[in-house]
Amino acid sequence: MWIVIKYKINQLNILKDNLKNLLGNEPEYFMPEIKYNKIVKNNYKTLHKSILEGYLLCFHIKFVNSNLTEVLKYTKGVSFILDGFKNSQSDILNFIKRCQNFQDKEGFITQEFFHHENFTKGKFISGPFTNFVFEILSRKKDKIEIMIGRYRTIIREKTDFLYRPI
């Protein structure tokens, strides 16, 4: 059974160790990541970031036991466990399959994953507008017209800039 854990960012490795000790063997983890370039001191640096931002999908057969999931809530590294995961197994599996369909050869999510999302606001992850929030004005076949502050511009589908919905 899959569960969704909100974890403390600086304690992910501690959480994974605790889960392994608690369950007896290593559970399966799914944390889809994107890869992007950032300029640091006039050099490009390749970074990767989870698209779930602090959430971890975790599978283990023992998660069927309600008592175990109660114990997990108090495990070091866990902020909380999302309720309703038992009823959302098919949605979680669909999300994982969708992510896997948009992975590149290295296992990173490609920008096309976000092209098919129906969202009205987004945030740039890479490029000259990193961390800028934009609003979508219109969508066309291969481009999106956006507004960044008071400026209008167009993002082509085949761009090197990464963005995500907010």
**Same domain as 79, residue 20:** yes
pTM strictly above 0.85: no
Residues lower than pLDDT 50 in the chain: none
Residues 85 and 9 in one domain: yes
Model pLDDT for residues 37-59, shown as the tens digit of each residue: 777 788 878 888 888 889 999 99
Q: Which residues pair with 91 in a beta bridge?
A: none
* Both structure tokens of 37: 């370039």
The predicted structure's pLDDT at residue 70: 87
The token pair at 149 is: 């502050």
What is the C-alpha separation between 80 and 3, in angstroms, rounded?
Answer: 11
Which of 72, 92, 110 terminates a domain? The answer is 110
Report the run of H or E that residue 71 belongs to, with start and end.
helix 66-72
**Does residue 121 share a domain with residue 82?**
no
What does the pLDDT read at residue 126? 79
3-state secondary structure of 130: coil
Q: What is the CATH number of the domain that holds 20?
A: 3.30.70.940
99 and 49 fall within a common domain: yes
Q: Write out the residue range of the structural domain in which residue 101 sits.
A: 2-110
CATH of the domain at 124: 2.30.30
pLDDT given for residue 28 in this prediction:
95
Last residue of a domain, one of 110, 131, 156: 110
Q: 129 with 141, same domain?
A: yes
Specify whether 82 is located in the same domain as 133.
no
Segment 92-105, tens digit of pLDDT: 999 999 999 999 99
Q: Are residues 38 and 105 in the same domain?
A: yes
Q: What per-residue confidence (pLDDT) applies to 116?
A: 61
Residues in the chain: 166
The residue assigned the tokens 């602090």 is 54
pLDDT of residue 117: 66
d(Cα 95, Cα 89) in Å, to the nearest integer? 10
Q: How far is CA 53 from the centre of its chain?
A: 6
